[in-house]
Amino acid sequence: MKIELNNYGIKRIRQGNPLIQVEDLKQNIKKIPLEWIEFVDNKNKYVATGYLGKQNKGFGWVIDQTQRPIDQAFLIEKFQQALDQRQAFFADDTTTAFRLFNGEGDGFGGVTVDYYADYLVISWYNETIYHFQKLIVDSWLEVFPNAKGVVEKIRFKSELKESRWLAGEKPQEPLIVLENGVSYAVYLDEGYMTGIFLDQKEVRGRLTEGLAAGQKVLNMFSYTGAFSVAAAYGGALETTSVDLAQRSLPKTQEQFEVNGLSLEQQKIIVMDTFDYFRYALRKHLSYNLIILDPPSFARNKKKTFSVAKDYGRLIEDSVEILSEEGMIIASTNAANLPIKKFKQAIETALENKNVSYQLTESYRLPADFPASNFEESNYLKVLFYTIKK
């Protein structure tokens, strides 16, 4: 099927941006075609091949500009390229979980593939790509025949269950994976999330490598406590993990246990972050290292939290319970918040608190999460601030 793009859309594609937006299309599409599309200009001349699909970002993806058919041979070539680029990860025995295929960053938007100790987890981000599920899974098993099993995640609006075991062996629960020598218990077939966010490996690596040694660490929005475990493994004096979700308590305990780390110096608290700030202040608790990694948006009771609106407050509250000299690790995965604005929000808050500060390290997506040529694609932003009160 052919679909006409306007000049604005064509220009963006030629600049290397593979994301199609509704505004790029000449006609109004009512029903999204479940097939590969030939995008053409107003003279019916070929521009690119791709597909339309509704997902959290955009309205479709460009996947080729050479007029090749999108068949199994094409997919196998793409997937093999991605595998070749990850040989250093496969060669490293101390890390057994990483991303094999990062959607648009590996030249094919709408699908990602993660590797967890011989299992594959494939995430589908729109219905059109899911229509090609069999072709894509078969192509993966062709380039990666040693996969022990495959699990899929449905990350678009659908009646389908969000997680499903697809092929091969059923993964153990938990499955233990390694990252920089630290063990993490993951549950591959349990909702959208597995227990670890693989894109934070470099930050966890810094914590295990020595940044946390001898420190009192506070991990806010801790989920399964992965940052706390990395810090404890790296010699933290004590860690405190705070998350609103009940499940975070047993899940975090388990992460310490699988590493043989005693729970004695680890506090795990099920509480709203902002309530914990008040509690800590009242109890005169203080920390040398505070990690902030909130979701982009969350709702608790009547309150909503959004990174753009509330990050400054998180920083100000953190300064209140930071030791005289300390560090704040400020992280966000909000794709729609440019790094400049994120930095500005943090630094305005630090200036409001009259502290001296220095941005000492910063991290974006790691090498196994290549980004594409548009700002939202490199969504992860992690800034380390050294602070003197």
- 168 versus 295: smaller Cβ distance to ligand SAH: 295
Does residue 150 belong to the site contacting ligand SAH (CB under 6 A)? no
Site for ligand SAH in 305-344 (CB under 6 A): 305
Site for ligand SAH in 288-307 (CB under 6 A): 293, 295, 298, 300, 305
H, E, C per residue of 41-74: CCCCCEEEEEEECCCCCCCEEEEECCCCCCCHHH
Does residue 363 belong to the site contacting ligand SAH (CB under 6 A)? no
CB of 219 to ligand SAH, least distance (A): 7
CA distance 153 to 276: 33
- 128 versus 163: smaller Cβ distance to ligand SAH: 163
Does residue 221 belong to the site contacting ligand SAH (CB under 6 A)? yes
Does residue 200 belong to the site contacting ligand SAH (CB under 6 A)? yes
Contact 23, 8 (CB under 8 A): yes
Q: If DSSP codes are grouped into helix, strand and coil, which group holds residue 375?
A: helix
Contact 183, 176 (CB under 8 A): yes
Contact 248, 270 (CB under 8 A): yes
CB of 222 to ligand SAH, least distance (A): 6
For ligand SAH, the binding residue among 140, 223, 277, 384 (CB under 6 A) is 223
Two tokens at 190?
């349990």
- 14 versus 299: smaller Cβ distance to ligand SAH: 299
Burial (Cβ within 10 Å: 0-12, 13-18, ≥19) of residue 302:
exposed
Site for ligand SAH in 111-130 (CB under 6 A): none
| Number of residues lying near ligand SAH (CB under 6 A) | 20
Contact 357, 347 (CB under 8 A): yes
Could you tell me which residues are beta bridge partners of residue 267? 240
For ligand SAH, the binding residue among 226, 232, 261, 321 (CB under 6 A) is 226
Does residue 244 belong to the site contacting ligand SAH (CB under 6 A)? yes
Question: What x/- string results for residues 17 through 56 when contact with ligand SAH is judged by CB under 6 A?
Answer: ----------------------------------------
Two tokens at 335?
């794709």
Query: How far from chain centre, in Å, is Cα 307?
Result: 15
For ligand SAH, the binding residue among 197, 277, 357, 379 (CB under 6 A) is 197
Specify the stretch interacting with ligand SAH by CB under 6 A; choose among 94-102, 139-147, 153-161, 215-223.
215-223
- 115 versus 305: smaller Cβ distance to ligand SAH: 305
For ligand SAH, the binding residue among 96, 139, 273, 318 (CB under 6 A) is 273
E-assigned strand segments in 161-292: 163-168, 175-179, 182-186, 216-220, 238-243, 266-270, 287-292
Q: Give whole-number Cα distances, 342 to 200, 257, 315, 352, in Å.
A: 18, 35, 11, 16
Two tokens at 315?
């920083």
DSSP 8-state code for residue 296: S
- 227 versus 233: smaller Cβ distance to ligand SAH: 227
- 202 versus 272: smaller Cβ distance to ligand SAH: 272
Would you tell me which residues interact with ligand SAH (CB under 6 A)?
Answer: 197, 200, 221-224, 226-227, 242-245, 248, 272-273, 293, 295, 298, 300, 305
